[in-house]
Amino acid sequence: MFNKMIAATLPYMPKKLVWLFSKRYIAGETIDDAVKASLDLNAKGIKVTVDLLGEFIEDLNQATENKDAYLEIIEAFEKNKIDGNYSVKPTFFGLLIDPEVCYENIRTVVAKAAEYNNFVRIDMEDSPCVDKEIDMFRKLKAEFPQNVGLVVQAYLKRTLDDLTNMMDMQNGVSKLNYRLCKGIYVESEEIAYKKYEEINEHYIKDLEFMLKNGIYPGIATHDKNLIQPSYDLIEKYNVPKDKYEFQMLYGVTPELRQSILDKGHKMRVYVPFGKDWFGYSTRRLKENPKMAMLIIKALFSR
């Protein structure tokens, strides 16, 4: 109840105050900031996936600007020889305005990454986007078999069926590559598991499906209760270290991250940057009520 209250208040807090607590989750506002943060992570043996912040745009001019910004990011990252790939949110490229235009924008980004033998991950957004994002992934995967991957969300009741239905894309040339996360959006009980235990149980089922079927998973979680069962599955299916990776968000649970690295597993950090940091950071703060509490205290202690 109290956490819900904190969550509801966050969007109305002064931006400057939210920034104080958000900056640990954001690499900065410019491409140079993202390059620097990524090079720092690479120096620690951590790969990155970079994300230009923003989503749910309102006109297609913004979509074109966002596509151009991604092309610039790819040039900068490749020039700096960063060990990393790219993450995109389709609504940032116009998915909910014109899916065809969105597809063309993302296709251009994937084609640019493919020129460098690199990879673009399509983030999964809220439930009205899921079918559209799977369709887009299918189309892109047919043209760029090695250069595109998708995110799936363990909290959605449909996910295991989606994984099964997408198996027709898996073949000798083109392995499937998914990021598995719990899911961050507010979804109804009809379509999503709500209880922590239920979500974790399905997370592990989805991961087992991937490992059993030779899919490359990005195991994206900060939940220590999911890490040991993931290790167990990796061992059970005897999966080599180059056939999966762990993934975490920038600034979140660095000690757990280090403990995974110390065991010799691949780790990739999601590096968000850009001027549009407010929505992203309030979502992260909602996940971390302790941090949100600090903001509230700071607000009322003046």
User: For residue 273, what are the β-bridge partners?
Assistant: 52
Residue 244 contacts residue 180 (beta carbons within 8 Å):
no
CA torsion through residues 100, 106, 108, 110, sign: negative
Alpha-carbon span 283 to 6, nearest angstrom: 12
Is 123 designated active site?
yes
Is 98 designated active site?
no
Indicate the helix (H) or strand (E) that contains 217: strand 216-220
**Catalytic annotation, pick one of 123, 206, 268, 284:** 123
Interface with ligand FAD by CB under 6 A: which range of 59-67, 91-99, 218-226, 274-282?
218-226
Site string for ligand FAD, 101-140 (x = CB under 6 A): ----------------------xx----------------
Query: Whose CA is closest to 49, among 143, 131, 151?
Result: 151
Token pair listed for 33: 């900031």
270 binds ligand FAD (CB under 6 A): yes
78 binds ligand FAD (CB under 6 A): no
Residues that bind ligand FAD (rule: CB under 6 A) add up to a total of: 23
Query: Whose CA is closest to 51, among 66, 61, 65?
Result: 66
**Catalytic annotation, pick one of 107, 179, 268, 284:** 179
Alpha-carbon span 151 to 41, nearest angstrom: 22
Query: Whose CA is closest to 88, among 275, 270, 218, 251?
Result: 270
**If DSSP codes are grouped into helix, strand and coil, which group holds residue 122?**
strand
- Tell me whether residue 59 or residue 189 sits nearer to ligand FAD (CB atom): 189
Q: For the CB of residue 38, give the shortest distance to ligand FAD in the complex, in Å.
A: 14
284 binds ligand FAD (CB under 6 A): yes
248 binds ligand FAD (CB under 6 A): yes
221 binds ligand FAD (CB under 6 A): yes
Q: For the CB of residue 204, give the shortest distance to ligand FAD in the complex, in Å.
A: 12
162 binds ligand FAD (CB under 6 A): no
Which residues of this protein are in contact with ligand FAD, per CB under 6 A? 123-124, 151, 153, 179, 181-185, 220-223, 247-249, 252-253, 270, 284, 287-288
